[in-house]
Amino acid sequence: MKKYRQAIWDEPLLIEISKQGRRGFSLPSIEPDLVTQFGNIESLIPKEMHRSEKPDLPALSELQVLRHFIRLSQMNFAIDLGFYPLGSCTMKYNPKISDRICSSSSLRQLHPYQPESSSQGILEILYRLATMLENITGEDRVSLIPAAGAHGEYIGALIMKAYHSDQEGKNNKRVEMIVPDSAHGTNPASASMAGYQVVTVDSDKRGMVDIDKLRSIVSERTAGIMLTVPNTLGLFEKDIVLISKMVHDAGGLLYYDGANMNALLGRVRPGDMGFDIIHLNVHKTFSTPHGGGGPGAGPIGVKRHLVPYLPTPLIEKEDQTFKLNYDLPNSVGSVKSFYGNIGVLVRVYVYLLLMGRDGLKKSSELAVLASNYLLSKLDKTYYPISHDKDIMRKHEFVVSSKPLLEKGVRALDVAKKILDEGMHAPSIYFPLIVNEAIMIEPTETEPIEELDKYAEVLNRIGREAMADPEAIFNSPILTSIGRLDEYKASHPKTMKLTWKSLRDGEN
Ligand SMILES: *Cc1c(COP(=O)(O)O)cnc(C)c1O
């Protein structure tokens, strides 16, 4: 691929190119008959609700607005534009037919306040989707309501809390949630938001949960353990059955972070491994666009003993009709308006129908193959693999760019240099237990040529870093925006989030 874009734009804000009097529309004046009948607009709106000043809105022509947004869209990077191997995030290709079905008028025009009698179609789709996810995860009941993985985690932690408090009443001593040191940051955050004390269990030399350490931590204070399988190093927890028994024997529950289900579809099920609660990041595992803060969905599945605690409402099927059941006295309650992010969920349903049981199994086999193939092509003098190199990785792997530190080149510099090749950077500095971590997840949807090219680019960057590190520090130079100040770009105190703060120079 040639460099897809050379220009560096300084795209002004709409408010900066605004000229009073410009319009992108023209409305006819109100017909005199209507004014006679109803009075003029000012008299229709109660006085106390009149504005004292006109709103400060940009005034522009339609063409100016159109060009602004098209230019912005071209400054963006997307899976539809190039390789996007963001570890843990599973940026796989999204079949366009899902978008087409989702934007069909019968789905688009549905309204959440419609009565159940006229929403039977969507209720049936959601009911069937929940059943499919129950089969895939091996759990007894799935709720599609949570809006993202982290939301599912939080609700899962609340469910654990409600369960333990019912089981143990006033004597409930279960205040600790065990989380491995390789976990995604949302795990300890969700547990802590639900009121748990987070207890970290270290990883051992293999990169897996240290069983002896776990044994010393598990107690009658344990509410549960949150595990990602395969973990964020791309390794399947070999001792999962033992871990499951250890925590259950102590009266704790097992929570499965399903962000990495892409490695296991159709082969093993978290429910069969003993997990009591699981969330799926359907926007990762089952396609559907995500990233940049777009909507996702984080359905949760639970075993039978936890079904009464699921959030309201649950979709039930009675005599061939579907209804929303709000009558769940032990439920953790309402956690989101209406019934989940329907647009995302419908895409998941279409994806599952397209793939079928065999297709899903094949997809995770290919994801694991692609990841191991790409890993095999990387030059380990620049990018040694983290932890035990003899254990096979699943759908993602973590290498370290530590050897490049000798020349002052960090994982961040490598990531920025990749952008100049028209490809997306991998995840970096995650998981936290690997120095200069580079976490790559190619997914099953990439052709082998893209994998070869990515390895070639990374290896070349490694050679360049050793020979001429200065050339790397300036990257990226071919993107629409050069290197950002990492601190200012992410610190709430220095981010400028509104045009007013830019205009006034406020923080
Ligand atoms: C993405 C991710 C999460 C959080 O999921 P969101 O849908 O982004 O809220 C949690 N755990 C892991 C391992 C993840 O990769």
Which ligand 1 atom is nearest residue 232's CA?
13
Query: Of all protein residues, whose CA lies closest to atom 14 belonging to ligand 1?
Result: 259
Tell me: the pLDDT tens digits for 221-277? Answer: 999 999 999 999 999 999 999 999 999 999 999 999 999 999 999 999 999 999 999
Which ligand 1 atom is nearest residue 183's CA?
13
Q: For the beta carbon of residue 495, count every other beta carbon within 10 angstroms.
A: 11
Q: How far, in Å, from the CA of 482 to the mean position of ligand 1? A: 28
| Token reading at 398 | 């973590």
Of the candidates 422, 465, 415, the one whose C-alpha atom is nearest the C-alpha of residue 438 is: 415
The DSSP annotation for 219-249 comes to: STTEEEEEEESS-TTS---TTHHHHHHHHHH
Q: How far apart are CA 95 and CA 83, in angstroms?
A: 16
Q: Confidence class of residue 5 from pLDDT cuts 50, 70 and 90? A: very low
In CATH terms, the fold of domain 122-355 is Aspartate Aminotransferase; domain 2 (3.40.640)
Q: How far, in Å, from the CA of 211 to the mean position of ligand 1? A: 25
Same fold, 122-355 and 357-490: no
**For residue 505, what pLDDT is reported?**
63
Query: Of all protein residues, whose CA lies closest to atom 6 belonging to ligand 1?
Result: 149
Q: How many residues does the structure list for the chain? A: 507
- Higher-pLDDT residue of 483 and 376 is 376
Do residues 336 and 235 make contact, with C-beta atoms less than 8 angstroms apart? no
**For residue 176, what pLDDT is reported?**
98
Which of the listed residues 186, 227, 237, 344 should we mutate to test ligand 1's pocket, taking the one with most ligand atoms within 8 A of CB? 186
What predicted TM-score, i.e. pTM, was given to this entire model?
0.91
Q: How far, in Å, from the CA of 185 to the mean position of ligand 1? A: 8
Residues with CB under 6 A from ligand 1: 88-89, 148-150, 184, 186, 228, 232, 257, 259, 281, 296, 298
Q: How far, in Å, from the CA of 430 to the mean position of ligand 1? A: 12
Q: How far apart are CA 107 and CA 191, in angstroms?
A: 36
In CATH terms, the fold of domain 357-490 is Aspartate Aminotransferase, domain 1 (3.90.1150)
295 phi, psi to nearest 5 deg: -70, 150
Q: Confidence class of residue 484 from pLDDT cuts 50, 70 and 90? A: confident
Domain residues of the chain, as ranges? 14-74, 122-355, 357-490
Q: How far, in Å, from the CA of 102 to the mean position of ligand 1? A: 24
| Token reading at 178 | 């065990």
Please compute the mean of the pLDDT values over residues 297-324 and round it to a whole number: 97
Which ligand 1 atom is nearest residue 148's CA?
7
Tell me: the pLDDT tens digits for 160-196? Answer: 999 999 999 988 999 999 999 999 999 999 999 999 9
Q: How far, in Å, from the CA of 467 to the mean position of ligand 1? A: 37
Q: Confidence class of residue 290 from pLDDT cuts 50, 70 and 90? A: confident
